[in-house]
Homo-oligomer: A and B are copies of this chain.
Amino acid sequence: MAKINLETIAKELNLSIATISKALNDSFEISFETKKRVLEKAKQLNYQANPLAIALRNKRTYTIAIVFPEMDNNFFSLAIKGIESIAYPMGYHILIYPTNESFKREKATLELLHNGRVDGVMISLSSQTKETTHIDKLIKHNLPVVLFDRVSQKLQAPKVVTDDYKSAYLATKHLIEVGCKEIAYLSFSEHLNIDKQRLKGYRDALFDKKMTYDPKLIVKCGNYEKENKMIIKNLLIQNIPDGILASVEELILPCIENCNELNIKIPNDIKLIGYSNSPIARFLNPSLSTIVQPAFEMGQKAASILIQLIDKKYKGSVSETIVFPSEIHIRESTQPSECIKFV
Protein backbone atom coordinates (compact mmCIF):
# COMPACT_ATOMS: atom_id res chain seq x y z
CA MET A 1 0.00 0.00 0.00
CA ALA A 2 1.55 3.26 -1.13
CA LYS A 3 1.21 6.62 0.61
CA ILE A 4 -2.05 8.43 -0.10
CA ASN A 5 -1.16 11.88 -1.38
CA LEU A 6 -2.63 14.57 -3.60
CA GLU A 7 -1.46 12.65 -6.68
CA THR A 8 -3.41 9.54 -5.65
CA ILE A 9 -6.62 11.54 -5.27
CA ALA A 10 -5.96 13.40 -8.54
CA LYS A 11 -5.55 10.13 -10.46
CA GLU A 12 -8.64 8.58 -8.94
CA LEU A 13 -10.79 11.59 -9.90
CA ASN A 14 -9.01 12.36 -13.15
CA LEU A 15 -8.27 15.91 -12.02
CA SER A 16 -5.04 17.89 -11.74
CA ILE A 17 -2.97 17.91 -8.53
CA ALA A 18 -3.39 21.70 -8.37
CA THR A 19 -7.18 21.32 -8.42
CA ILE A 20 -7.06 18.76 -5.60
CA SER A 21 -4.80 21.02 -3.55
CA LYS A 22 -7.02 24.04 -4.09
CA ALA A 23 -10.16 22.03 -3.32
CA LEU A 24 -8.72 20.75 -0.03
CA ASN A 25 -7.73 24.32 0.85
CA ASP A 26 -11.27 25.49 0.11
CA SER A 27 -10.14 27.82 -2.68
CA PHE A 28 -12.72 30.09 -4.31
CA GLU A 29 -11.38 28.96 -7.70
CA ILE A 30 -12.95 25.52 -7.28
CA SER A 31 -16.66 24.77 -7.63
CA PHE A 32 -18.70 23.47 -4.74
CA GLU A 33 -19.39 20.22 -6.61
CA THR A 34 -15.70 19.49 -7.22
CA LYS A 35 -14.78 20.32 -3.63
CA LYS A 36 -17.41 17.86 -2.44
CA ARG A 37 -16.08 15.11 -4.73
CA VAL A 38 -12.49 15.74 -3.63
CA LEU A 39 -13.33 15.76 0.08
CA GLU A 40 -15.34 12.54 -0.24
CA LYS A 41 -12.53 10.78 -2.11
CA ALA A 42 -9.93 12.05 0.39
CA LYS A 43 -12.01 10.66 3.25
CA GLN A 44 -12.60 7.36 1.44
CA LEU A 45 -8.84 6.91 0.81
CA ASN A 46 -8.01 7.95 4.39
CA TYR A 47 -5.89 10.84 3.11
CA GLN A 48 -3.89 12.72 5.75
CA ALA A 49 -2.30 16.00 4.79
CA ASN A 50 1.49 16.05 5.06
CA PRO A 51 2.30 17.60 8.45
CA LEU A 52 5.28 19.47 6.97
CA ALA A 53 3.04 21.07 4.35
CA ILE A 54 0.60 22.13 7.07
CA ALA A 55 3.48 23.42 9.21
CA LEU A 56 4.84 25.46 6.31
CA ARG A 57 1.45 26.95 5.54
CA ASN A 58 0.67 27.79 9.17
CA LYS A 59 4.24 28.76 10.11
CA ARG A 60 3.81 26.47 13.12
CA THR A 61 5.54 23.11 13.42
CA TYR A 62 4.19 22.02 16.83
CA THR A 63 7.73 20.81 17.41
CA ILE A 64 10.12 21.90 20.15
CA ALA A 65 13.80 21.08 20.57
CA ILE A 66 15.64 20.17 23.76
CA VAL A 67 19.37 20.88 23.61
CA PHE A 68 21.02 19.40 26.72
CA PRO A 69 24.37 18.02 27.89
CA GLU A 70 23.90 14.30 28.57
CA MET A 71 21.52 11.53 27.59
CA ASP A 72 22.31 9.00 30.34
CA ASN A 73 21.92 11.25 33.34
CA ASN A 74 19.09 10.94 35.87
CA PHE A 75 18.56 14.70 36.11
CA PHE A 76 18.08 15.20 32.38
CA SER A 77 15.99 12.02 31.92
CA LEU A 78 13.60 13.26 34.59
CA ALA A 79 13.59 16.84 33.26
CA ILE A 80 12.76 15.58 29.75
CA LYS A 81 10.01 13.42 31.26
CA GLY A 82 8.63 16.60 32.83
CA ILE A 83 8.88 18.54 29.56
CA GLU A 84 7.16 15.72 27.74
CA SER A 85 4.33 15.53 30.29
CA ILE A 86 3.37 19.10 29.36
CA ALA A 87 4.23 19.11 25.64
CA TYR A 88 2.56 15.86 24.55
CA PRO A 89 -0.99 16.66 25.74
CA MET A 90 -0.69 20.01 23.95
CA GLY A 91 0.14 18.30 20.67
CA TYR A 92 3.87 19.07 20.55
CA HIS A 93 6.57 16.83 19.10
CA ILE A 94 9.97 16.77 20.80
CA LEU A 95 13.35 16.74 19.06
CA ILE A 96 16.28 15.87 21.32
CA TYR A 97 19.83 17.09 20.84
CA PRO A 98 22.27 15.84 23.48
CA THR A 99 25.49 17.83 23.11
CA ASN A 100 27.67 15.37 25.04
CA GLU A 101 29.04 18.41 26.92
CA SER A 102 30.55 19.81 23.71
CA PHE A 103 30.32 23.54 22.98
CA LYS A 104 31.08 22.92 19.32
CA ARG A 105 28.17 20.55 19.06
CA GLU A 106 25.83 22.86 20.98
CA LYS A 107 26.66 25.66 18.54
CA ALA A 108 26.29 23.45 15.45
CA THR A 109 22.94 22.15 16.74
CA LEU A 110 21.49 25.62 17.27
CA GLU A 111 22.49 26.55 13.71
CA LEU A 112 20.09 23.83 12.55
CA LEU A 113 17.18 25.28 14.50
CA HIS A 114 17.14 28.85 13.19
CA ASN A 115 14.95 28.60 10.24
CA GLY A 116 11.57 27.04 10.78
CA ARG A 117 12.35 23.52 11.99
CA VAL A 118 10.90 24.16 15.46
CA ASP A 119 8.57 26.57 17.25
CA GLY A 120 10.85 26.92 20.27
CA VAL A 121 13.98 25.64 21.98
CA MET A 122 14.83 24.57 25.52
CA ILE A 123 18.53 24.72 26.35
CA SER A 124 20.74 23.51 29.18
CA LEU A 125 24.35 24.57 28.51
CA SER A 126 27.29 22.24 27.97
CA SER A 127 30.10 22.34 30.53
CA GLN A 128 32.38 23.88 27.88
CA THR A 129 30.10 26.80 27.03
CA LYS A 130 31.88 30.09 27.82
CA GLU A 131 29.98 32.48 25.60
CA THR A 132 26.44 32.49 24.33
CA THR A 133 26.29 34.46 21.09
CA HIS A 134 24.94 31.31 19.40
CA ILE A 135 21.92 31.47 21.72
CA ASP A 136 21.59 35.23 21.42
CA LYS A 137 21.31 34.75 17.68
CA LEU A 138 18.29 32.44 18.13
CA ILE A 139 16.62 34.92 20.47
CA LYS A 140 17.25 37.78 18.02
CA HIS A 141 15.63 35.68 15.31
CA ASN A 142 12.52 35.80 17.54
CA LEU A 143 12.62 32.09 18.22
CA PRO A 144 11.21 31.41 21.71
CA VAL A 145 13.97 30.11 24.00
CA VAL A 146 13.84 28.89 27.61
CA LEU A 147 16.99 27.94 29.54
CA PHE A 148 16.95 25.34 32.29
CA ASP A 149 19.35 24.19 35.02
CA ARG A 150 22.56 25.31 33.32
CA VAL A 151 21.79 28.85 32.28
CA SER A 152 23.56 32.11 31.49
CA GLN A 153 22.26 35.22 33.26
CA LYS A 154 23.35 37.33 30.29
CA LEU A 155 20.66 35.91 28.03
CA GLN A 156 17.33 37.68 27.56
CA ALA A 157 15.25 34.54 27.99
CA PRO A 158 13.32 32.94 30.87
CA LYS A 159 15.41 30.61 33.04
CA VAL A 160 14.37 27.70 35.25
CA VAL A 161 16.97 26.79 37.87
CA THR A 162 17.46 25.47 41.39
CA ASP A 163 18.87 27.31 44.39
CA ASP A 164 22.44 26.32 43.60
CA TYR A 165 24.10 28.75 45.99
CA LYS A 166 21.87 27.86 48.93
CA SER A 167 21.96 24.10 48.47
CA ALA A 168 25.77 24.04 48.19
CA TYR A 169 26.03 26.34 51.21
CA LEU A 170 23.78 24.05 53.29
CA ALA A 171 25.55 20.87 52.11
CA THR A 172 28.95 22.33 53.03
CA LYS A 173 27.64 23.56 56.38
CA HIS A 174 26.36 20.04 57.01
CA LEU A 175 29.80 18.55 56.22
CA ILE A 176 31.41 21.00 58.67
CA GLU A 177 28.85 20.20 61.35
CA VAL A 178 29.50 16.45 61.10
CA GLY A 179 33.20 17.07 61.71
CA CYS A 180 34.89 17.67 58.33
CA LYS A 181 37.88 20.02 58.38
CA GLU A 182 39.31 19.62 54.88
CA ILE A 183 36.40 19.70 52.44
CA ALA A 184 37.03 19.30 48.73
CA TYR A 185 34.71 20.73 46.06
CA LEU A 186 34.52 18.81 42.77
CA SER A 187 33.76 21.28 39.98
CA PHE A 188 32.52 20.26 36.53
CA SER A 189 32.79 23.57 34.68
CA GLU A 190 34.77 26.75 35.28
CA HIS A 191 32.51 28.73 32.98
CA LEU A 192 28.98 27.96 34.00
CA ASN A 193 27.00 30.02 36.45
CA ILE A 194 25.56 26.90 38.09
CA ASP A 195 29.05 25.73 39.09
CA LYS A 196 30.12 29.23 40.14
CA GLN A 197 27.05 29.53 42.38
CA ARG A 198 27.66 26.14 43.96
CA LEU A 199 31.32 27.00 44.53
CA LYS A 200 30.32 30.33 46.06
CA GLY A 201 27.91 28.55 48.41
CA TYR A 202 30.72 26.21 49.44
CA ARG A 203 33.17 29.08 50.04
CA ASP A 204 30.71 31.19 51.99
CA ALA A 205 29.84 28.26 54.25
CA LEU A 206 33.54 27.75 54.99
CA PHE A 207 33.90 31.48 55.68
CA ASP A 208 30.85 31.67 57.94
CA LYS A 209 32.11 28.67 59.90
CA LYS A 210 35.58 30.25 60.20
CA MET A 211 37.26 27.50 58.19
CA THR A 212 40.29 28.03 55.97
CA TYR A 213 39.69 28.08 52.24
CA ASP A 214 42.28 25.96 50.47
CA PRO A 215 42.38 26.35 46.65
CA LYS A 216 44.05 22.94 46.35
CA LEU A 217 40.76 21.41 47.47
CA ILE A 218 38.85 22.93 44.53
CA VAL A 219 39.24 20.30 41.85
CA LYS A 220 38.17 20.82 38.25
CA CYS A 221 36.95 17.54 36.73
CA GLY A 222 36.45 16.70 33.06
CA ASN A 223 33.88 15.05 30.83
CA TYR A 224 35.31 11.55 30.77
CA GLU A 225 34.80 8.84 33.35
CA LYS A 226 38.38 7.60 33.34
CA GLU A 227 39.82 11.12 33.43
CA ASN A 228 37.63 11.97 36.42
CA LYS A 229 38.59 8.82 38.24
CA MET A 230 42.27 9.76 37.91
CA ILE A 231 41.72 13.41 38.94
CA ILE A 232 39.81 12.33 42.06
CA LYS A 233 42.39 9.65 42.85
CA ASN A 234 45.12 12.32 42.81
CA LEU A 235 43.05 14.51 45.12
CA LEU A 236 42.55 11.65 47.56
CA ILE A 237 46.23 10.71 47.59
CA GLN A 238 47.80 14.18 47.61
CA ASN A 239 45.47 16.34 49.63
CA ILE A 240 43.65 13.84 51.82
CA PRO A 241 40.33 15.65 52.28
CA ASP A 242 37.93 14.39 54.96
CA GLY A 243 34.83 15.59 53.11
CA ILE A 244 33.74 15.94 49.47
CA LEU A 245 30.97 17.94 47.84
CA ALA A 246 30.41 16.68 44.26
CA SER A 247 28.80 19.31 42.05
CA VAL A 248 27.24 16.76 39.64
CA GLU A 249 26.05 13.16 39.72
CA GLU A 250 28.76 11.86 37.34
CA LEU A 251 31.45 12.69 39.91
CA ILE A 252 30.00 10.58 42.72
CA LEU A 253 30.66 7.08 41.38
CA PRO A 254 34.38 7.78 40.70
CA CYS A 255 34.63 9.03 44.32
CA ILE A 256 33.13 5.79 45.67
CA GLU A 257 35.25 3.66 43.35
CA ASN A 258 38.48 5.41 44.34
CA CYS A 259 37.67 5.20 48.05
CA ASN A 260 37.00 1.46 47.70
CA GLU A 261 40.25 0.92 45.84
CA LEU A 262 42.35 3.06 48.19
CA ASN A 263 40.65 1.53 51.24
CA ILE A 264 39.40 4.92 52.38
CA LYS A 265 36.24 4.26 54.42
CA ILE A 266 33.08 6.31 53.86
CA PRO A 267 32.02 7.91 56.22
CA ASN A 268 34.78 7.04 58.73
CA ASP A 269 37.74 8.49 56.81
CA ILE A 270 35.86 10.73 54.41
CA LYS A 271 32.29 11.99 54.12
CA LEU A 272 30.59 12.35 50.77
CA ILE A 273 27.60 14.34 49.52
CA GLY A 274 26.67 15.15 45.94
CA TYR A 275 24.02 16.52 43.62
CA SER A 276 22.11 13.48 42.34
CA ASN A 277 18.69 12.42 41.08
CA SER A 278 19.43 8.71 41.24
CA PRO A 279 16.61 6.78 42.95
CA ILE A 280 19.21 4.23 44.07
CA ALA A 281 21.27 6.65 46.24
CA ARG A 282 19.61 5.46 49.44
CA PHE A 283 20.38 1.80 48.69
CA LEU A 284 24.11 2.32 48.22
CA ASN A 285 26.65 0.99 50.68
CA PRO A 286 26.87 3.27 52.62
CA SER A 287 23.66 5.03 51.61
CA LEU A 288 24.53 8.30 49.91
CA SER A 289 23.70 11.80 51.16
CA THR A 290 22.39 13.77 48.20
CA ILE A 291 21.17 17.15 47.06
CA VAL A 292 18.11 16.39 44.96
CA GLN A 293 16.89 18.85 42.34
CA PRO A 294 13.19 18.81 41.38
CA ALA A 295 14.09 17.78 37.83
CA PHE A 296 10.61 16.71 36.70
CA GLU A 297 8.97 19.91 37.96
CA MET A 298 11.74 22.05 36.42
CA GLY A 299 11.11 20.36 33.06
CA GLN A 300 7.39 20.96 33.38
CA LYS A 301 7.88 24.63 34.20
CA ALA A 302 10.36 25.18 31.35
CA ALA A 303 7.97 23.52 28.88
CA SER A 304 4.93 25.46 29.99
CA ILE A 305 6.81 28.77 29.74
CA LEU A 306 8.10 27.84 26.27
CA ILE A 307 4.61 27.01 25.03
CA GLN A 308 3.29 30.28 26.48
CA LEU A 309 6.06 32.13 24.64
CA ILE A 310 5.17 30.33 21.40
CA ASP A 311 1.49 31.22 21.88
CA LYS A 312 2.49 34.80 22.76
CA LYS A 313 0.70 34.35 26.07
CA TYR A 314 3.69 34.56 28.39
CA LYS A 315 3.07 37.16 31.08
CA GLY A 316 6.46 37.00 32.87
CA SER A 317 9.52 39.14 32.21
CA VAL A 318 11.65 38.15 29.20
CA SER A 319 14.60 37.39 31.41
CA GLU A 320 12.77 36.07 34.46
CA THR A 321 14.56 33.47 36.58
CA ILE A 322 12.35 30.88 38.28
CA VAL A 323 14.09 29.19 41.20
CA PHE A 324 13.01 25.76 42.48
CA PRO A 325 14.34 24.69 45.88
CA SER A 326 16.46 21.53 46.07
CA GLU A 327 16.22 19.05 48.92
CA ILE A 328 19.15 17.78 50.96
CA HIS A 329 18.85 14.12 51.95
CA ILE A 330 21.20 13.23 54.78
CA ARG A 331 22.21 9.56 54.81
CA GLU A 332 25.05 7.32 56.02
CA SER A 333 27.78 8.77 53.78
CA THR A 334 27.85 11.95 55.91
CA GLN A 335 27.17 10.36 59.29
CA PRO A 336 29.00 12.20 62.12
CA SER A 337 32.05 10.23 63.23
CA GLU A 338 30.82 9.74 66.82
CA CYS A 339 27.74 7.93 65.49
CA ILE A 340 29.70 5.42 63.45
CA LYS A 341 29.77 1.97 64.95
CA PHE A 342 32.76 -0.13 64.03
CA VAL A 343 31.74 -3.72 63.38
For residue A41, CB closer than 8 A to chain B, the reply is no
Docked complex: A81-118 residues within 8 A CB-CB of B: 81, 84, 93-98, 112, 114-117
- Cβ–Cβ contact B278 & A116, under 8 A: no
Docked complex: A6-65 residues within 8 A CB-CB of B: 48-53, 55-56, 61, 63
Copies in the complex: 2
* Residue in B56, B81, B140 whose CB lies within 8 Å of A52: B56
Closest B residue to A50 by beta carbon equals B116
For residue A3, CB closer than 8 A to chain B, the reply is yes
- Of A70-78, A209-217, A300-308, A320-328, the one contacting chain B is A70-78
> Contacts A81-B98, A93-B95, A96-B94; is A117 near B283 (CB within 8 Å)?
no
- Cβ–Cβ contact A141 & B50, under 8 A: no
- Cβ–Cβ contact B2 & A142, under 8 A: yes
> Contacts A52-B117, A116-B51, A142-B3; is A256 near B283 (CB within 8 Å)?
yes
Contact residues in B for A116 (Cβ distance below 8 Å): 3, 50-53
For residue A318, CB closer than 8 A to chain B, the reply is no
Q: How far is the CA of A48 from the CA of B141 in the complex (A)?
A: 12
For residue A223, CB closer than 8 A to chain B, the reply is no
Q: How far is the CA of A116 from the CA of B54 in the complex (A)?
A: 11
For residue A343, CB closer than 8 A to chain B, the reply is yes
> Contacts A81-B71, A94-B95; is A3 near B115 (CB within 8 Å)?
yes
- Cβ–Cβ contact A84 & B61, under 8 A: no
For residue A340, CB closer than 8 A to chain B, the reply is no
Docked complex: A203-233 residues within 8 A CB-CB of B: none
Q: How far is the CA of A343 from the CA of B342 in the complex (A)?
A: 11
Q: How far is the CA of A114 from the CA of B52 in the complex (A)?
A: 12
A: residues with CB less than 8 A from B are 1-4, 48-53, 55-56, 61, 63, 71-74, 77-78, 80-81, 84, 93-98, 112, 114-117, 140-142, 253, 256, 278-280, 283-287, 343
Can you list 16 A-B contacts with CB-CB less than 8 angstroms, sorted by A residue number?
Answer: A3-B114, A51-B116, A53-B56, A53-B116, A63-B95, A71-B77, A72-B74, A72-B81, A80-B96, A93-B117, A94-B97, A95-B96, A280-B284, A285-B285, A285-B286, A343-B343
**Apart from the given pairs A48-B115, A51-B115, A80-B96, 12 other A-B contacts in the complex at a CB distance below 8 Å:** A3-B114, A3-B116, A48-B114, A71-B84, A72-B78, A72-B81, A73-B77, A94-B96, A95-B95, A95-B96, A278-B280, A284-B285
